[in-house]
Amino acid sequence: MTPAKFDPNAYKTATTQQWQSAAKSWSEWGNVLREWLGPATDTMIDLACITKSAKVLDVAAGAGDQSMQIADRVGPEGFVLATDISSNILDYAAANAQSKGYSQIDFKVMDGEDLTAAPEQFDAVVSRVGLIYFPDQMKALKGILKTLKPDGWFSAIVYSTPENNGFFSIPVGIIRKAAQLPPPAKGQPGPFSLSQPGVLVDLLHDAGFRNVCEKTLSAPLVLPSATDCVRFERESFGALHEMLKGLGVDEQSRVWAEIETALQAFESETGFSGPCELIVVAGQK
């Protein structure tokens, strides 16, 4: 099939709507997200050289799990600005932070490609599994570089190759086939847009960062069963629903059943362990 022509404006509108709708579920899965992505987030924080009293910008913060993890590192004397394109998800982020007593986190609706933060304001900037969904990743990186203080650090987490992320790539493949969707256009944002080793490293160099480094981490998604994985993705991964929207209700149910059957390959006596590999990249201004 011929790749579909990519419309970045329509894509961004659809992405915002997806996260507006999925905000509540994403927040409710916060404990799973911490268990799954927490170790990689610690690595991201380490590579961004975030220490006590630091001032940090979190781009595409979601429901704020990593923002709170960063706040633990900077302490009450530090500051975290959590930003996202979805106002709904930031409302949940703010509520989550307030309920847990984090007073050093502020929240602002902001497009990661068009940051409105003042120049040279932050000691560090981070983005956990967010940059992959930006249509203009270079514009985002140059904007991030501008917000950093001299010698400040940026660090990001992205998925590695589809082959090493079966928990997500298998559902995407099944849905794409069932919905008869064309392959993604070259350069189109998506979960695996920065998946090849060295790609994000090169982008950071091109954007003007120095001392760029990269780490690859195993981060299996551990849940009681494949059924739970399907429920997690069905409730929280808005992009999958966008891909399915052309199918009727019965056909969508059939596709989800096929996905669950396929993911059962990752079940054992101890539960479900979905393959996931993450790349953490950092660069200095």
Domain boundaries, the chain: 8-161+188-220+275-284
Please give the radius of gyration of the chain, using alpha carbons only, rounded to the nearest integer: 18
Q: Residue 44 has what pLDDT?
A: 98
DSSP structural state of residue 138: H
Distance CA 153, CA 285 (A): 6
pTM over 0.85: yes
Structure tokens at 29: 């899965």
> What are the b/e assignments for 56-70, b being 16+ CB within 10 Å?
bbbbbbbbbbbbbbb
pLDDT along the chain (285 residues), means of 10: 75 91 94 97 98 98 97 98 97 97 97 95 98 96 98 98 97 95 83 93 98 98 98 90 90 97 98 98 98
For domain 8-161+188-220+275-284, the CATH class is alpha beta
Residue 256 dihedral angles phi and psi, to the nearest 5°: -65, -35
Q: Is 98 exposed, middle or buried (0-12, 13-18, 19+ CB in 10 A)?
A: exposed
